[in-house]
Structure 1
Amino acid sequence: MSDPGSGQPYRRPTAFRLDDSRLEIAEEPAYEEIEDLAPGIDDAKGAVEQIANPRRRGFRWGALVLSAAGALVSLAIGLGVDALIRDLFQRAPWLGWVGLVALSLFVLGLVVVIGRELAGIARLKRVARLRLACDEAAASNDRDLAIAATRSVMDLYSARPETAKARADVRNYLREIMDGRDLLVLAERDLVAPLDARARAMISGSARRVSVVTAVSPRAFLDIIYVLWESVRLIRRVSSLYGGRPGAIGMLRLLRAVLGHLAVTGTIAVGDTILQQVLGHGLAGRISSKLGEGVVNGLMTARIGLSAMDVCRPLPFLAAERPRLKDLAGNLVSRE
């Protein structure tokens, strides 16, 4: 006989004795220690490689089409501007000179914008290559490589007055006889650890803002827009903190690396399970669904921030404790 509702075989009620040796009682799966859902750092090297040494693709017909179209549009714009300047001079000489000044300012601004974009890409590559050099020096425990990497880290933050004492201390360490990894650990403690504290505050603040705004937002598309905006803003701030400071094009490359890192390490599952794992089964059952959505969005933002921290940091996590997602989760529901 089967249950018509479920299609499963029907079993009659049966009585069992508790001391029956054949009886097996399935235990309720207990919630053990909260699993850290933050992205791992083992795969951060691949994301950093994308920034330091982007893969060059071969010949592509799509790129040829876009390049040719861009050249034609540029020629059309150039001819149109030339005709405009000539017409202005024919109407009145002073109008022609005004047009020339406006064109000169436009060209100057364009050159400055292009220069800033190239400088932003160069800064990103510099930090990424420094990270790879520190990874190699720490893995091989090579003192010479560690000294060169440490000097590069000091040069990276040489323009920041707040790091003057830390740079002086690290400069003294270079004269000591120690292993390469130990030298990098000291550089991490004095130079990078204070930046880690500021990055953690940035991530926590962004996660809390996202949690609050999306919890009170009346529309889902507003939640998506705000989460995207805050995530991009957080990645830019974290990168600037560690010395990257990307431009628009560099930001696209950085976003690709961070999202690639998240894709490798796994994404957050949105739903009741994440709330139960991070906040606890009892608290997750008592909060409203809208507040739960806000907490989940905040956790997603925090996870993106931690991934950006892994990618933008000039040194790997050697002795410093890496921020954990479950530590940031408590701030999302605190009353402070």
Structure 2
Amino acid sequence: MIEIDTPDAPDPRQAPHQDFADRPDQPNPADAAPIDMASAVLPRPRTMEMVTRLVGRKPSKLTAFFINSGVALFTFLLGIAALDYINRLLISYPVLGWIAVTLFALFTLAALGMAWREYRAWARFAKIDAMQRKAGTALTEDSMDKAREVTDQLLALYHRRPELEWNRKRLTDRRAETFDARTLLTMAETELLAPLDQEARREIEAASRTVAAATALIPLALADVAAALAANLRMIRRMAEIYGGRAGAVGGWRLARTVITHLIATGAVAAGDDLVQTVAGGGVLAKVSRRFGEGIVNGALTARVGIAAMEVCRPLPFLSQPRPKVGNLLTRGLKGLFGNDDKT
């Protein structure tokens, strides 16, 4: 038997080894982008950006002077015209003239009453703001005296709230058991503010649901902005009412500007840890519907505004109670959109 030397044949059971470093002309699989990390364009919350600019933008001094002087001039001319008309009416038709005088006097009293209500509402909110600062000082200095003052102010603030009657009695009975400022303020937060926090969360969920639905379903360009602006202003007014403040027509707008300023100052307008999953979800939904994905992100930013409103209107900082998260609020709000909201 004659044996012929032949080169070794490659084993078919073993895959051939390819050195891509030696073959630069061939594509390397390691350079391919991972499939799961494909870049997705996130929807831009144009509606809430417009609302934030409308509410939070402070006019320049020249613009404010122009508006104030214009309003003063219009009011002065209107008053002069009304008085001249009433004077001529008294000369021509005395009975009708006196009726006009009576109506003008009633209108003046109503205007003064509304101005007084706006002043009291803003003074009440300023009182809550002072209470926040005093509570922060009490925690920093561990001052029991200041903590007792804040607790007394809280009891006086909510003494006309019948739904908190049992909580007030419980706090009054147990406050003598505490011996440091943080424990006393934590007890006051648990007894008085915890039920109000639940109500505030429901308002934020409702506003987020409204803004998300308005952005997704309203095709008009400015109609969704108007709906989102109205929902956010109503939510901020409700935050003030829930925590014991008042917000009239002018005071509500000033409060909204304060909330937006707080939102920008604390950096909460940027996407944080609790908003990453929400924005990511909006990017996935944007592949199916751009408007729906934008509505999700607008709802998330509305929840951001609601949390900032809670921090501004709340008499105490979050001590033992958990701070609301955007993802949880938006999830519950969207469940309510489909009739599956849990009210417990």
Alignment TM-score, normalising by the size of structure 2: 0.74
SS in 1 for 2:319: coil
Change (3 A) 1:84 1:15: closer
Aligned residue for 1:93? 94
Q: CA deviation at 1:28?
A: 8.6
Query: 2: distance between equivalents of 1:15 and 1:254?
Result: 59
Aligned residue for 2:169? 168
Q: Contact 1:121/1:249 (CA < 8 Å) preserved in 2?
A: no
Change (3 A) 1:212 1:82: closer
Query: 1: distance between equivalents of 2:183 and 2:320?
Result: 9
Q: Contact 1:137/1:145 (CA < 8 Å) preserved in 2?
A: yes
Query: 2: distance between equivalents of 1:81 and 1:176?
Result: 65
Matched, 1:195 2:196: yes
Change (3 A) 1:87 1:158: same
Stretch deviating more after TM superposition (175-184 or 63-72) = 63-72
Q: Deviations over 1:268-311 (max 9, x none)?
A: 56xxx956655388x64764222212211211111111111111
Aligned residue for 1:300? 301
Aligned residue for 1:220? 221
Query: 2: distance between equivalents of 1:274 and 1:182?
Result: 34
* Equivalent residues in 2 for 1:5-20, closer than 5 Å: 12-13=25-26
Aligned residue for 1:119? 120
Query: 2: distance between equivalents of 1:219 and 1:274?
Result: 29
SS in 2 for 1:310: helix
Query: 2: distance between equivalents of 1:220 and 1:102?
Result: 42
Q: CA deviation at 1:97?
A: 1.0
The total of aligned residue pairs comes to 289
Change (3 A) 1:276 1:243: closer
* Equivalent residues in 2 for 1:295-334, closer than 5 Å: 295-334=296-335
Gaps of at least 5 residues in structure 1 are 1-10, 17-22, 32-59
Q: Deviations over 1:57-89 (max 9, x none)?
A: xxx787777666665554433432332222111
Aligned residue for 2:281? 279
Q: CA deviation at 1:251?
A: 1.7
Change (3 A) 1:26 1:188: same
* Equivalent residues in 2 for 1:245-284, closer than 5 Å: 245-264=246-265, 265-268=267-270, 277=279, 279=281, 284=285
Query: 1: distance between equivalents of 2:258 and 2:196?
Result: 21
Q: Contact 2:215/2:298 (CA < 8 Å) preserved in 1?
A: yes
Q: Contact 2:263/2:308 (CA < 8 Å) preserved in 1?
A: yes
Q: Contact 2:286/2:294 (CA < 8 Å) preserved in 1?
A: no
Q: Contact 1:127/1:244 (CA < 8 Å) preserved in 2?
A: yes
Matched, 1:141 2:154: no
Q: Deviations over 1:15-71 (max 9, x none)?
A: 69xxxxxx999989979xxxxxxxxxxxxxxxxxxxxxxxxxxxx787777666665
Q: Contact 1:193/1:320 (CA < 8 Å) preserved in 2?
A: yes
Query: 2: distance between equivalents of 1:190 and 1:139?
Result: 22
Change (3 A) 1:278 1:328: farther
Gaps of at least 5 residues in structure 2 are 1-23, 39-60
Q: CA deviation at 1:167?
A: 0.9
- Between the aligned residues of both structures, percent identity stands at 33
Q: Contact 2:158/2:244 (CA < 8 Å) preserved in 1?
A: yes
Alignment TM-score, normalising by the size of structure 1: 0.76
Change (3 A) 1:199 1:84: same
Q: Contact 2:89/2:96 (CA < 8 Å) preserved in 1?
A: yes
Query: 1: distance between equivalents of 2:303 and 2:66?
Result: 40
Q: Contact 2:200/2:239 (CA < 8 Å) preserved in 1?
A: yes
Q: Deviations over 1:185-223 (max 9, x none)?
A: 000000001000000011111111222232121223222
Q: Contact 2:118/2:247 (CA < 8 Å) preserved in 1?
A: yes
SS in 2 for 1:243: coil
Aligned residue for 2:236? 235
Query: 1: distance between equivalents of 2:292 and 2:65?
Result: 50
Amino acid at match of 2:197: D
SS in 2 for 1:220: coil
Question: What is the CA RMSD across the aligned residues, in angstroms?
Answer: 3.1
Query: 2: distance between equivalents of 1:66 and 1:224?
Result: 24
Amino acid at match of 2:281: L
Q: Contact 1:276/1:284 (CA < 8 Å) preserved in 2?
A: no
Query: 2: distance between equivalents of 1:280 and 1:250?
Result: 34
Q: Contact 2:204/2:235 (CA < 8 Å) preserved in 1?
A: yes
Q: Contact 1:137/1:180 (CA < 8 Å) preserved in 2?
A: yes
